[in-house]
């Protein structure tokens, strides 16, 4: 089960406030999202709160930090800083008087607690948690990374304590939250039909061999049998692929083995090795390098402007571009916030469409708050498209002040409606994408 670890301040006054916060805000939302709550353990707990392997600050799916009132508890700040450094999901519950920017906290990860506005606070907390795995501070990788815990005296109780998005997909799931905290044997059953029986048996035997060598402290515990998936794998990108599981670190603590692994797609490497002459060099395959984004462009817009944006979407599709637009791409069965966050990160470029009604609620609350900062920091491309009635001169009237300087760091396109704005936008976007492919964007 997914776990949410709550870090709380100390002191009598803080305890009373935290008790109400826990009951009225955190517990209802976590129950809705199927999280099991863990609260800061009292003195004498076996947990080492800042241990990089066994601490719930590290291993929990989510950490919720109750910052309390000023002055803030230094132990709470220390635990929050440690969790933030791991790049994993963290949410801060703050007093309305607290200013997140003064503490260097992302606004999208902060929820203000006011007893008189519980419905609003619960909605904000749920949204923040759903987006938490895609927060600006999250580590990104095209390799599968995972961590697992294996009780020495009962290996059947082994469980996954962390997986990233790629590792979750290799295991046949669409999100890490469906894997973290579950027994390994339960999760691994999801792969039963993804490997042919004979190879699956060889793979399992090899894993048992590795575990035995590891527990006997033998040095040679590299996997000899990779995961060899067939066409029945649930995720398209891993059908008919060879995945090599590599143990990168291991440690024993409190009667458990803790393993960290990297799962690497070696399909192309294996194919080349089999066909290459012995005297030639084996070169690192393309599969080890980051894959091209699946979308050329993500369209961020207000639903009020959907008509003109839909026409633009159709123009760009006719030119062969792969464009993401919510009403054309979203799967209604999945959480909206998660789909938006993943699609934005999976797009080569981001186009922010702004009309006379300004930014839509999802733009200001979910999309731009995190994504603009991420793209600016990583030098990834985006541009702003101004609809008729908006110009660079009056743009400040239609966007929140914190967004304006970010938008102005990149290209802002305004087209005269009398000249046929759709064709003008299309030409500008195509030229922009060509510059990205050539590495000329700025």
Is residue 130 in a domain?
yes
For residues 130 and 232, membership in a common domain is answered with no
Is the whole model's pTM more than 0.75, yes or no? no
Handedness of CA 42, 47, 51, 56 (dihedral sign): negative
For residues 219 and 183, membership in a common domain is answered with yes
pLDDT at residue 26, rounded to an integer: 93
pLDDT at residue 272, rounded to an integer: 64
pLDDT at 143 over 50: yes
Q: What is the pLDDT of residues 15-67, one digit of tens each?
A: 888 888 999 999 999 999 888 888 764 443 444 555 555 678 877 878 999 99
For residues 259 and 154, membership in a common domain is answered with yes
Total number of domains constituting the chain: 3
Final residue of a structural domain among 134, 168, 189: 134
Tokens standing for residue 132? 């938490």
For residues 7 and 77, membership in a common domain is answered with yes
- Tell me which DSSP letter residue 322 carries: -
Final residue of a structural domain among 287, 307, 332: 287
Is residue 337 in a domain?
yes
Least confident of 9-18, 91-100, 155-164, 357-366: 357-366
Q: By percentage, how much of the chain surpasses pLDDT 90? A: 8
For residues 184 and 274, membership in a common domain is answered with yes
For residues 201 and 76, membership in a common domain is answered with no
Q: Which helix (H) or strand (E) holds 384?
A: strand 382-386
For residues 303 and 425, membership in a common domain is answered with yes
Distance (Å, rounded) from C-alpha 295 to C-alpha 275?
A: 33
Distance (Å, rounded) from C-alpha 140 to C-alpha 246?
A: 18
Is residue 442 in a domain?
no
For residues 84 and 168, membership in a common domain is answered with no
For residues 30 and 121, membership in a common domain is answered with yes
- Provide the pLDDT confidence category of residue 170 given band limits of 50, 70 and 90: very high
Is residue 421 in a domain?
yes
For residues 244 and 312, membership in a common domain is answered with no
For residues 305 and 378, membership in a common domain is answered with yes
Is residue 139 in a domain?
no
Final residue of a structural domain among 134, 157, 172: 134
For residues 362 and 429, membership in a common domain is answered with yes
CATH of the domain at 85: 3.40.50.450
The crossing angle, in degrees rounded to 10, of helices 306-318 and 421-437 is 50
Q: What is the pLDDT of residues 393-422, one digit of tens each?
A: 888 888 888 888 888 888 788 755 444 456
Tokens standing for residue 38? 């863990």
b vs e for 3-19, b when ≥16 Cβ sit within 10 Å of the residue's Cβ? Answer: bbbbbbbeeeebeebbe
Domain span holding position 234 = 144-287
pLDDT at residue 27, rounded to an integer: 93
What is the average per-residue pLDDT within 364-368? 62
Least confident of 9-13, 300-304, 335-339: 335-339
- Tell me which DSSP letter residue 44 carries: T
What's the residue count for the chain? 442
Residue 179 CB contacts under 8 Å (≥ 6 apart), including other chains: 160, 163, 167, 168, 171, 173, 187
Q: By percentage, how much of the chain surpasses pLDDT 70? A: 77
Which of these, 153, 156, 146, lies nearest to 183 by C-alpha position? 156
Q: What is the pLDDT of residues 58-85, one digit of tens each?
A: 778 789 999 988 888 888 888 888 888 7
Q: What is the pLDDT of residues 216-267, one digit of tens each?
A: 555 556 788 888 898 889 888 898 888 999 888 888 777 788 889 999 988 8
Is residue 395 in a domain?
yes
Burial-class residue 189 by CB neighbours within 10 Å (0-12, 13-18, 19+).
Answer: exposed
CATH of the domain at 276: 3.30.450.20
CATH of the domain at 316: 3.40.50.10140
pLDDT at 371 over 60: yes
């Amino acid at each position: 089960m997914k776990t949410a670890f709550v870090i709380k301040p100390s002191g009598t006054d803080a305890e009373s406030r935290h008790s109400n916060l826990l009951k009225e805000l955190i517990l209802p939302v976590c129950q809705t999202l199927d999280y099991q709550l863990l609260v800061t353990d009292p003195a004498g707990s076996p947990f080492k709160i800042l241990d990089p392997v066994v601490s719930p600050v590290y291993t929990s799916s989510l950490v919720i930090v109750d910052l309390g009132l000023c002055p803030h508890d230094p132990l709470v700040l220390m635990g929050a800083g440690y969790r933030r450094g791991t790049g994993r999901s963290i949410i801060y519950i703050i007093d309305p008087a607290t200013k997140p920017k003064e503490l260097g906290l992302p606004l999208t990860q902060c929820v203000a607690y006011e007893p008189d506005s519980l419905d609003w606070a619960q909605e904000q907390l749920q949204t923040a948690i759903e987006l938490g795995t895609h927060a600006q501070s999250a580590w990104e990788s095209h390799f599968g990374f995972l961590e697992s815990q294996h009780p020495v005296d009962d290996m059947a109780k082994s469980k996954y304590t962390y997986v990233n998005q790629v590792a979750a997909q290799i295991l046949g799931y669409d999100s890490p939250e469906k894997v973290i905290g579950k027994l390994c044997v339960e999760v691994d059953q999801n792969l039963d039909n993804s490997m042919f029986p004979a190879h699956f048996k060889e793979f399992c035997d090899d894993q048992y061999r590795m575990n035995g060598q590891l527990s006997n402290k033998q040095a040679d515990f590299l996997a000899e049998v990779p995961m060899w998936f067939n066409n029945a794998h649930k995720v398209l990108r891993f059908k008919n692929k060879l995945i090599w599981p590599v143990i990168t670190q291991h440690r024993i603590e409190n009667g458990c083995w803790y393993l960290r692994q990297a799962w690497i797609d070696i399909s192309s490497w294996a194919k080349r090795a089999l066909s290459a002459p012995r005297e030639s060099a084996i070169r690192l395959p393309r599969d080890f390098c980051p894959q091209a984004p699946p979308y050329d462009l993500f369209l961020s817009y207000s639903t009020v402007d959907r008509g003109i944006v839909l026409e633009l979407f159709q123009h760009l599709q006719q030119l062969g571009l792969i464009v993401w637009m919510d009403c054309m791409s979203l799967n209604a069965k999945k959480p909206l916030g998660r789909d938006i966050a993943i699609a934005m990160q999976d797009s080569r470029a981001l186009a922010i469409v702004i009309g006379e009604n300004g930014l839509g609620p999802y733009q200001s609350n979910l999309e731009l708050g995190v994504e603009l900062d991420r793209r600016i920091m990583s030098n990834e491309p985006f541009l702003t498209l101004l609809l008729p009635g908006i110009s660079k001169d009056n743009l400040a009237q239609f966007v929140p002040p914190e967004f304006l300087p970010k938008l102005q760091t990149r290209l802002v396109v305004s087209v005269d409606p009398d000249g046929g704005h759709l064709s003008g936008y299309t030409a500008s976007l195509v030229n922009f994408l060509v510059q990205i492919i050539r590495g000329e964007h700025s």
